[in-house]
Amino acid sequence: MKAIDLRSDTVTLPSDEIRQAIFDAQLGDDVFQEDSTVNLLEEKAAKLSGKEEALLVPSGTMGNLVSFLVHCPRGSEAILGDRSHTFTYEAGGISAFGGIHSHQLRNEADGTIDIQAIKDAIRYDNIHFPKTALISLENTHNKCFGYPLSKDYIDEVSVIARENNLKLHVDGARIFNATIALNTSLSSLVENVDSITFCLSKGLACPIGSIICGSKDFIYEARRIRKALGGGMRQAGIIAAAGLSVLDNIDTQISKDHQNAKVLAEGIESIKGLKIDSNKVKSNILYCRLDTDVIGEDEFLNLCKKENILFFKYPSGDYRLVTHSGINEDDIKLTLSTFEKILS
Ligand SMILES: Cc1ncc(COP(=O)(O)O)c(C=O)c1O
């Protein structure tokens, strides 16, 4: 029996088209910049993001780490959200490998960071302080209900960055969920940021890979740091081919994922014993929780697992469910009827 795996969009498996593209890929040594498929993908990503150049890296975590390492000299400070992926889930890499001091500010429920809080966090020159070098935002925001950050908000932060001689990075692991939720283009959304990473391996269903986009000088340095971190890959065209095969066709699947998330949330809202505000669902991530004493949080999770419905539970008691290309409308219906059966 097929598992309905709602734990993450990282579980997506490549389609037959992606597998064929990988099989057909023209290859070369990408550390020598001789893999034509990688070169094509990087050109395409640069164009799509409106940035001068792009660089393929193995993962979103490495994309963020490389970007921070380029922007932030050792001992400098990066401002980022306290619920951001980089602060929470990247094993402290920016401090471990970059000597970067993280200055965490509260993420609001919609993934933004208060504008005044950002302004207040920027250090003035004093030998007691680290120098602020970077502001980093996350779009869509994983731990904040998959909320997309608007262009207006990003632009407002970019003005602060520019006025204070700081760089602005966007962790756009799910940036296409944001562009689709906001009905805008990538180049417009990130027009005023210095660097952006996005993942091929989540909603886009490629098996591996993320891309960093930025200026020519930024990517030149990023390439050196990627090499230092062991991320210089040789015949990386087998990864890039997958990315190339999906970049023209992003909208259809991600729009479906958003629609499925909405139906799932509205269904959960009508089930006695579960609680969610379905108005909060803007992309493919939703959080809900139990609203009953008749069953425990772990018990509900385990009973669903026995029925082959998988999702995550956090210590806060929140369950996270993520829609993606491996989930169709029937899976949503079956998930809802199973929830109802368990809770009745
Ligand atoms: C917002 C965000 N940024 C970065 C990453 C890291 O991506 P990867 O798993 O490819 O390292 C993730 C992974 O889930 C993520 O959700």
What is the sign of the dihedral through the CA atoms of 45, 201, 205 and 285?
Answer: negative
Please give the distance, rounded to the nearest whole angstrom, from the Cα atom of residue 154 to the centre of ligand 1.
Answer: 20
Nearest CA to ligand 1 atom 6: 60
Question: How does residue 249 score in pLDDT terms, banded at 50, 70 and 90?
Answer: confident
Asked if pLDDT for residue 326 goes beyond 90, the answer is: yes
The number of CA neighbours under 13 Å toward the Cβ of 186 is: 25
Q: Are strands 274-275 and 4-5 parallel, antiparallel or unpaired?
A: unpaired
By the 8 A CB rule, do 57 and 66 touch?
yes
Q: pLDDT tens for residues 44-91?
A: 999 999 999 999 999 999 999 999 999 999 999 999 999 999 999 999
Question: How does residue 1 score in pLDDT terms, banded at 50, 70 and 90?
Answer: confident
Q: pLDDT tens for residues 83-98?
A: 999 999 999 999 999 9
Q: Where are the beta strands (DSSP E) in 58-166?
A: 77-81, 101-105, 132-138
By the 8 A CB rule, do 140 and 111 touch?
yes
Asked if pLDDT for residue 248 goes beyond 90, the answer is: no
Q: pLDDT tens for residues 143-164?
A: 999 999 999 999 999 999 999 9
Ligand 1 atom with the shortest distance to the CA of 62: 11
pTM, two decimals, is: 0.97
Asked if pLDDT for residue 122 goes beyond 90, the answer is: yes
Please give the distance, rounded to the nearest whole angstrom, from the Cα atom of residue 133 to the centre of ligand 1.
Answer: 22
Please give the distance, rounded to the nearest whole angstrom, from the Cα atom of residue 270 to the centre of ligand 1.
Answer: 31
Angle (deg, nearest 10), helices 329-343 and 297-306: 130
Asked if pLDDT for residue 245 goes beyond 90, the answer is: yes
177 lines ligand 1 (CB under 6 A): no
Please give the distance, rounded to the nearest whole angstrom, from the Cα atom of residue 66 to the centre of ligand 1.
Answer: 14
Ligand 1 atom with the shortest distance to the CA of 58: 10
